Structure 1
Amino acid sequence: MSIASMTGFARAQGTTGPWRWSWELRSVNAKGLDLRLRLPGGFDALDAAARSAAGKLLSRGSVSGTFTIAREGETVSVTINQPALEALIGASREAGARFGLAAPSLDALLAVKGVVEVVEAEQTPEDAERITKDAAAGFEEALRSLSQMRLKEGAALRAVLAERLAAMSALIAAAEALPERQPEAIKARLTEQVRALLDAAAPLDPDRLHQEAALLAAKADVREELDRFTTHIAAAYDLLDTGGPVGRKLDFLSQEFNREANTLCSKSNAVALTQIGLDLKLLVDQFREQVQNIE
């Protein structure tokens, strides 16, 4: 199963009789699944069908959908009110004969309110039912296209994340191989630090000296941090291979990466190890930024 991005765009269109309709879907990042639809009047039934379909295919993302519909061809009919027109003609002739007025033109008569009736084509309940059925199927088609686009982008994101993980692994290996981390080097530094404590003006209690030496040894050892980092990297690879809605889990791992990198920097007593820790923090930030796009 592949991982998917949360961003994408899709369009689907179709016709039902003289009616042409279309869907546009846009998806961006979100903590959960948020579907927002813009529907024309009379198509509220599409809302429930669209939400059911989206819930089966998507797990996360803010998805906005716009449904538009228009009638093709002749959308209005024009009729002339014959009785009203005849009455106007008769009245105009009578007035002309009585007052000596010129007969009004046909344009003037047709401009009188009520003589010409313009009727827009109406959408019947049967039309709305057929359109709703076809539009629901069209939404599922757009949804599948959106899902495919999100999967395609998810494949690209997987490659980026795998590259960051590989770079982290290389830095961990470099930290393991540092001469400053070899037991002899650590022992030499501890010996020097203990000697400095013994040469202090005020004599130290043997127990206190033992405690200080133990603290110095603990701080010099970053074995635990490196091991945990390696374990987290392996877990991240497993999630990328498993696929599906793993964005939240990857985000949690990125927080763990950051915590280990911070501890590594704070415990480092060598410039080279500090630099590795800083490089790891940069990679972790890049990793986490990309993870925010994963479903």
Structure 2
Amino acid sequence: MPRSMTGFARQESQHPWGSLSCEIRTVNHRYLEPTLRLSETLRALEPELRDRMRKQLSRGKVEVNLQLKTDAAAGTDLALNQAFAQHLISLAETVGTQLQQGSPINPLDILRWPGVLQTAEIDPQDVAAAAQSLFEETLAMLVANREREGAELKTFIAQRMQTIASHVGVVRDKLPAIQQALRDKMRSRIEALAVDVDEERFNQEVVYLCQKSDVAEELDRLEAHIQETQHALEQNGPIGRRLDFLMQEFNREANTLSSKSTASDTTQIAVDLKVLIEQMREQVQNIE
């Protein structure tokens, strides 16, 4: 199943410590050319994200934007170190009993002591795991979008293949009539000159001209290219380069058919073939 190299996907996720957003855009390119824009906190994930991308994508210019936005309140929640606070209170009470004029323990004094209050920190491993998961989800969405567009491209190319096959059949059916018309045209010209012509030499010239204008071999190759293109469209994995090569071969045969044409019908068909091939070539440029 062909995949398009053009695609877009965006996903977001919310977490207690903030939010993540991932956006992936792809356009056609001869090779795989990824560009990653990551928040500084996520920079260490780049090698792994590139590796995961290479396993899913083979061609295309890919732009990835993975950003972390931490909640302003995240990391500011305070937690009481209960065991440490109780130990301080116990020590303060012990000292107080030894003083003649002891004063009540001020709770704020206990809270001000280093280590009694602790800040809830964001776990970097939790952030990294969430970022990787979001990237995988966005990448899967992108692949699905590229496959969906690839299916549309496959239908487009298959329709053009069917039309080309029809044109090839028409030209093949016309070959005997074209050769006979060539013979009749030469005979008419000689008769108009009112000169005696050696019949054997005449037949040799007719055979020579018919061979020069014979396009049966080109038609055979066009049919072979049609079959190969249809086969490639059913394959899994990257097929864009193979299809691009086949479009070049299609165009080569259409040019030869045009140059050998001795009838207006076949000339027009050759022109129609070139139009169809160019339409396919433009779409093939987007296939992975």
Report the TM-score range of the alignment, normalised by the length of the smaller protein.
0.7 to 0.9
Q: Which residue of 2 aligns with 1:250?
A: 243
Identify the match of residue 144 of structure 1 among 140, 143, 148.
140
Q: How does 1:152-171 map to 2 (within 5 A)?
A: 152-171=148-167
CA RMSD across the alignment: 3.0
Partners of 2:159 and 2:208 in 1: CA distance: 37
Shift in Å, 1:190: 3.2
Shift in Å, 1:208: 9.1
Q: Unaligned stretches of 5+ in structure 2? A: 77-118
Conserved 8 A contact 1:27-1:64: yes
Partners of 1:191 and 1:10 in 2: CA distance: 65
Conserved 8 A contact 1:254-1:287: yes
Q: How does 1:78-157 map to 2 (within 5 A)?
A: 127-157=123-153
Could you give the per-residue CA deviations for residues 154-194 of structure 1, whole angstroms, max 9, x where no partner exists? 1111111101101111111111222xx216x5145236437
Aligned residue type for 2:138: A
2:26 corresponds to 1:33: no
Shift in Å, 1:287: 0.7
Which stretch of the first structure deviates more once superposed, 137-146 or 190-199? 190-199
Aligned residue type for 1:153: E
Partners of 1:219 and 1:189 in 2: CA distance: 11
Aligned residue type for 1:182: P
Shift in Å, 1:45: 1.5
Identify the match of residue 176 of structure 2 among 172, 182, 187.
182
Q: How does 1:1-295 map to 2 (within 5 A)?
A: 2-74=1-73, 127-178=123-174, 181-182=175-176, 185-187=178-180, 189-190=182-183, 192-193=185-186, 196=189, 212-295=205-288
The secondary structure found in structure 2 opposite 1:4 is coil
Shift in Å, 1:215: 3.6
Aligned residue type for 2:179: I
TM-score (norm 1): 0.74
The secondary structure found in structure 1 opposite 2:40 is coil
The verdict on how the C-alpha distance between 1:203 and 1:129 changes in structure 2, with shifts beyond 3 A counting, is farther
Could you give the per-residue CA deviations for residues 249-289 of structure 1, whole angstroms, max 9, x where no partner exists? 01110111111011101000000010000000000000111
Partners of 1:182 and 1:207 in 2: CA distance: 21
Conserved 8 A contact 1:219-1:268: no
Shift in Å, 1:197: 7.1
TM-score (norm 2): 0.76
The verdict on how the C-alpha distance between 1:188 and 1:70 changes in structure 2, with shifts beyond 3 A counting, is closer
Conserved 8 A contact 1:36-1:64: yes
Aligned residue type for 1:168: I
* Number of matched pairs: 246
Aligned residue type for 2:268: Q
Give the % identical residues: 39
